[in-house]
Structure formats: C-alpha cells, structure tokens
Amino acid sequence: MKYLCLIYDNEQTWNEMPESESKSMIDEYFAISDALAQSGQLIAGEALEPVATATTVRVRNGKLTTTDGPFAETKEQLGGFYLIEARDLNEAIQVAARFPSARVGSVEVRPIMEFEM
C-alpha cells in the first residue's frame, strides 16, 4: 500500500538551529532516503522551498484569486514529503518515526486512495 508522509516543521526553529545541527538532520534525511530507495519502499520524496514562496490559489464563482503564502497561519509548515510503499499503516508509521522532523515537528501519515478505472 502507498502512504504519503507529510513533514511539518517550524521554519523558525530550523532557521535558528546551529548549522552543525541542521546539517546533521539533513544528512539523516539523505541516509533515510538512501535506505528507503535500497529497500524499494521509496516512490518519491521532495523538500519544499520556504513557506514564504507559497501561493494559495482559489476559484470562486469563476474568479481566480491568489494569495501569497500558505492557506492557514500555523506554527508548523509543510516542508516536504515522502511517498512510500509499506505493508500497512504500522510499517508506514515506523518509517515516519525515523524522519528527524518527527523529533522536532511532526510527520502526518496518510494512505493513498486507490481508484478503480
């Protein structure tokens, strides 16, 4: 089954973190990515640019509007994602627990909806 692991962090925490600590965490992400790729569990994964680069798009009554930034003001922002293959939710949770952001932010794990076409 496919699961999306949405990684949420407080950007300010990352910005204030000593460079050696942030480099260590990024190195952990690369190591986890390599391990997931070697095990065949990694389908895709990307980091996102800071939330200040986001644009929210809405169409209401046929009118397009855009707003700079994310939809909601929150303490944690979506920083990236991993799309993984796992036997079940328990295995997906175990993978998500390995991400450094599980220690300083949060990782939301959601199953991918399968459609019959």
Instruction: Delineate the domains of the chain, giving CATH numbers in brackets.
Output: 2-111 (3.30.70.1060)
pLDDT at residue 27 in the model: 96
CA distance between the termini of the chain: 17
Query: Which pLDDT does position 70 carry in this prediction?
Result: 66
How many alpha carbons fall within 13 Å on the CB side of residue 100?
Answer: 19
Q: What is the pTM of this model?
A: 0.87
- Judge whether residue 63 has pLDDT over 80: yes
pLDDT at res. 73? 63
Instruction: With H, G, I as helix, E, B as strand and everything else as coil, classify residue 92.
Output: helix
